[in-house]
Structure 1
């Protein structure tokens, strides 16, 4: 039976962001090129070839059909989806309320920034091994709270719960396809069906990730998501059965998922491995989870300090801290996507809508980015507005700009600043003359003066 293997602390390296191979990138590029060149025809070519659609099958599901799917769900299912969306929405609204437009004075006027949502967002939700209506809620609800005008969802073989989630999230429609061709449809648009998106978000398989990587720059993307990761940092007070359950919850996502245990309790890994063995015997997804567990590992650190260093080095997508002082210990860890502090803070509750988003950075990218949020859909646009009366500070500002431009060898920049500076000086002299303060003109030199 699969078990975590031991890895020495000194041998732990940071996860590397390499979620796609060159062969997949090349294949995704060919698919994207067809969609860009041939639009709907190119999209359908690959959607039908890969089994997403049958010839002639409708691939666009509109609002009315999404609502019908929601109405047809059992009442209990509808309630779960509605409550989950409400929690995610409230958290996103709190995030939006934490930032605002600003305006500050500068010499001669004011400067500031304004927050503006993107116009169109494409939200991808996996639908292969498992349907993930939770990912629809996490992405589309957050986009709507950010103020995005047009929100679209794509998911292959969408199940009723996925369609219902798209309705609850306020999506304009759902593209019943996945893979690189769905990302191409988002990036380039599909004639009168889907507009070209400004941002594409959501997790997916290596083909989705490869396509997102290739269209990044043409559009914004949230991140390049690899297989799921969960690292538990624990001491002797942690429950081995709970640790094992949480590691298996991530391991069942994908055979490439990475479960990790870091501890300074020498007895804990054996207890966790025993629990993994026991729980896998009855887990319905054991075929997938056991493969991931066999790729996972544990580290027995010399002490808490080394455990924190190892955890920060890995920079996991999901971090669970089960120690006697979990809050303080978490604060000392430098890199993670989402933290779950204390044994009661189950990562699975994060997956299923306590509030924070479950689309999180993987493969070590938590070193420089965070998870999906309303900020993913917002642009910060700055402005400068100078129309106040001239001042000494304003003159200094323009003189500094002239000087700095010439320091950089950019004479055109210097002259553009000087063009305004001449006006400032002229207005200043004119004002002085009106007030009788204009300097007397210099007299020409004479021989007597010499």
Structure 2
């Protein structure tokens, strides 16, 4: 298929035409289907209870029906031996790359973990503080659809391990050898060869005991990782019963460029994003038309040599991609903050200063050489990032998704605590909570509790 460079891959729009798109990431049809799958899998049909693990026989049947595992396979598990064999079977180059990526992601995640510590302060009459502790079991999902994504295995499982999770359960359908190898180096404790809503349900509700189809699976305290619309729908169903990282929509990149930007580099980054999925989106904000024109031409030139199916996927994704001519870089920053893109690249002069002006994004990539794909493949920061404008209020996957900050207080000196007691009595009665007031009065050295007055 030849590419006509006169076609506009990046639809030109004006700043006024840019709308803040906060779309519901949960597809209604996928949600209904995910509910049916989960109901089919659980041993209890009462969705209002916390009882009812996943039936392993049903799980295997559903996994076969949906193409997760072949008809002649009767297990939902990939053993640690399989994962190690896959790792050992890699070429020296592939193995070294996996080891290097693992090391960089581990270093960053460990630094994050070490950045938050237990603390305590003095309070009247005692101490108060918080403890930082990991959840016990983490569920990690890695897509297994259009492309195998061993990088997602490392990003999720390594981060959970760095947080200190005792058990890491990984799920990925139809795992390629490189995915199994990534699970080995990431230290996953269980590998479920299933995907979609069935994988999320299994990690959320667990499998009670070892059985003919595989081992017991613990109920995971939090479930993380990117996935298709059924994964996202299932995560929306189980959140609350367990924690989740985010409800992620289609992937996106936004590049802020000026006259100093390398058009070929920017085009390559836009294409890299577009080949993710037909619903992915690439956005260009620039302060001059010549920059936009050069990047547009470079996109066409490079897309013409992209192999299939990548070319068709990227071409379709460009249909919802666009370019905006802004009056200056500051207007680019304003529009970018409104969009709050998943990936934000700054390819301008004084790129770091421009980056510091930006407030809303998932991950920031500063300068021509800081390619977003380097973030995808293990520069250190996690590549699981908020999409669809949610970067306005949340960040990407990190060790903090697996950590619990729990507070405590202790009173050692009752006399010294009386100012807090008195304030609590007053505030409780202002709120109309007499029982609260009396509970505080029970600790008072000067005020007789109301319940005693009533008794007398």
TM-score (norm 1): 0.92
Kept after mapping to 1: 8 A contact 2:134/2:164: yes
CA distance in 2, matches of 1:85, 1:49: 34
Q: 1:39 aligns with which of 55, 76, 86?
A: 55
Q: Equivalent residue for 1:222?
A: 245
Q: Equivalent residue for 1:266?
A: 289
Offset, 1:425? 8.8
Offset from partner CA, 1:130-189 (integer Å, 9 cap, x none): 000000000000000000000011001101110010110110021011101110101111
Q: Equivalent residue for 1:26?
A: 32
CA distance in 2, matches of 1:197, 1:168: 21
Does residue 376 of structure 2 align to residue 351 of structure 1? yes
TM-score (norm 2): 0.91
CA distance in 2, matches of 1:425, 1:112: 30
Kept after mapping to 2: 8 A contact 1:87/1:354: yes
CA distance in 2, matches of 1:74, 1:423: 77
CA distance in 2, matches of 1:75, 1:117: 35
Q: Equivalent residue for 2:89?
A: 72
> What aligned pairs does 1:32-431 form with structure 2 within 5 A after superposition?
32-37=38-43, 39-55=55-71, 56-192=73-209, 193-284=216-307, 285-388=310-413, 390-391=415-416, 394-422=417-445
The number of residues matched between the two structures is 424
Kept after mapping to 2: 8 A contact 1:100/1:114: yes
> What aligned pairs does 1:435-450 form with structure 2 within 5 A after superposition?
none
CA distance in 1, matches of 2:147, 2:447: 67
Kept after mapping to 2: 8 A contact 1:14/1:314: yes
Kept after mapping to 1: 8 A contact 2:167/2:189: yes
Does residue 32 of structure 2 align to residue 14 of structure 1? no
Offset, 1:305? 2.0
Offset, 1:424? 9.4
RMSD between aligned residues: 1.5
Kept after mapping to 1: 8 A contact 2:60/2:74: no
Kept after mapping to 2: 8 A contact 1:85/1:137: yes
Kept after mapping to 1: 8 A contact 2:124/2:420: yes
Kept after mapping to 2: 8 A contact 1:2/1:291: no
CA distance in 1, matches of 2:177, 2:29: 34
CA distance in 1, matches of 2:8, 2:85: 44
CA distance in 2, matches of 1:18, 1:116: 32
| Range with bigger deviation, 68-77 or 256-265 | 68-77
Kept after mapping to 2: 8 A contact 1:395/1:424: no
Offset, 1:222? 0.4
Structure 2: any 5+ residue segments left out of the alignment?
Answer: 1-6, 44-53, 210-215, 450-456
Q: Structure 1's 381 and 423: CA in aligned 2 closer, same or farther, altered over 3 A?
A: farther
Higher gyration radius (CA): 1
* SS of residue in 2 equivalent to 1:167: helix
Kept after mapping to 1: 8 A contact 2:418/2:445: no
Offset, 1:348? 0.6
CA distance in 1, matches of 2:182, 2:448: 63
Structure 1: any 5+ residue segments left out of the alignment?
Answer: 427-450
Offset, 1:411? 0.4
